[in-house]
Structure 1
Amino acid sequence: MSQIDELNSRITAAMERIGAGVMMLAEREAAAAIPDPDLVQALEDERLANSQLEERLRAIKERHGDELAALRAALDVSDELDKLKADLAAQNDAMGRLDMDVQRLRLANEQLRQSNAALRKANESGVGEPHLINKAMLAELESLRAIRATDAAEVSAVLAKLEPLLASAAGLTDGEDA
């Protein structure tokens, strides 16, 4: 029996050591489950900073989108301005040609008047000079050419004015079809 008592005491001692070890492990687990207040505060600070950065990023993206839209609108206006400048240059060229042709017509008409006056004077004095008749015919031909060029320049000027209007009207009609 003495061996039984000894074994019993050994088993009891081992059980107490096992119980103490289990208690120590349970305390460690409980201590590990309780977070460090400094770490919890640091984690909360990081979460707050992260949400603030996300808000700033969203605001920057929104502002960037607004700026991008404004730049696109300015680019569209710039393209329209370039088109209008090109249209104006074409109209100015047409008006310049028209002005030159009108000056040519005035000069040709003045030459025709002078030739006709010289021809009338020669006819009144009874002398029919062939070179005056040729000169008058040449002046009349030049006058007719100048009138034709003036008419063509006027048509060109009118077309230069109408082309942008027709193009914008065609653009509006295409937009309505879409």
Structure 2
Amino acid sequence: MSDISELETRITTALERINAGLDKWADLPAGNADEVDALNRQLDEERTANAQLNERLSTLKDQMSEKLVVVENALSQLQAQLAQAEASADALRQTNQELRNSSDALRAAAATGVVEPALINEAMGDELSALRATQQADRAELDAVLSELTAMTAADATPVTEEEPHA
């Protein structure tokens, strides 16, 4: 029971303080009401500005998301081109090693004075393979350059709009 009376006393004290605060507001001169109105207008203006900034931020986030998708697509394309170029370079290295081995065998056979048609055929085949691998590497490089040029020209191409004549 004592808890209830203690709570009642605390509530009564709090209500008296609230009433005292309200009385102070009621006793304010009319000049403060104008100041409060001005502050409310400023608060509304700030809220409007804040809403506009939030809208602009949302728009910028959307634009950045779109640009991020474009960059990620370009990155994946460049990674694919790099993988293709690495595969071409590996094939070129392997073919050149085979060509060197064939040339060494042919040179050794020529040093002994024995002409072996199989070694000559193997060396010619390896040389043709090396030329094909070189051509593939060059083609991969040209494709990469072409795709970059295409992307650059597409980015620079802006639609031309006709202006309406002023009457």
Q: Same fold (TM over 0.5)?
A: yes
Tell me the amino acid that sits aligned with residue 95 of structure 1: L
Tell me the amino acid that sits aligned with residue 167 of structure 1: A
Deviation at 1:83, TM superposition (A): 0.3
Tell me the amino acid that sits aligned with residue 123 of structure 1: A
Q: Map 1:7-26 to 2 at 5 A.
A: none
Tell me the amino acid that sits aligned with residue 87 of structure 2: M
Specify the SS of the correspondent of 1:88.
Answer: helix
Instruction: Tell me the residue number matched to 2:75.
Output: 88
Specify the SS of the correspondent of 1:161.
Answer: helix
Q: Distance in 2 between matches of 1:152 and 1:125?
A: 40
**If you compute each CA radius of gyration, which structure gives the higher value, 1 or 2?**
1
CA RMSD, Structure 1 to Structure 2 (Å): 2.3
2:54 paired residue among 50, 61, 67? 67
Q: Distance in 2 between matches of 1:169 and 1:160?
A: 14
Deviation at 1:119, TM superposition (A): 0.9
Q: Map 1:105-144 to 2 at 5 A.
A: 105-144=92-131
Instruction: Tell me the residue number matched to 2:17.
Output: none
Q: Distance in 2 between matches of 1:164 and 1:100?
A: 24
Deviation at 1:62, TM superposition (A): 4.3
Where does structure 1 differ by over 3 angstroms across 4 or more consecutive aligned residues?
54-62
Matched length? 124
Deviation at 1:61, TM superposition (A): 4.7
1:166 partnered with 2:163: no
Q: Which runs of 5+ in 1 are unaligned?
A: 1-50
Give aligned-pair identity as a percent.
30
Tell me the amino acid that sits aligned with residue 148 of structure 1: Q
TM-score, normalised to structure 2's length?
0.64
Q: Distance in 1 between matches of 2:103 and 2:50?
A: 78
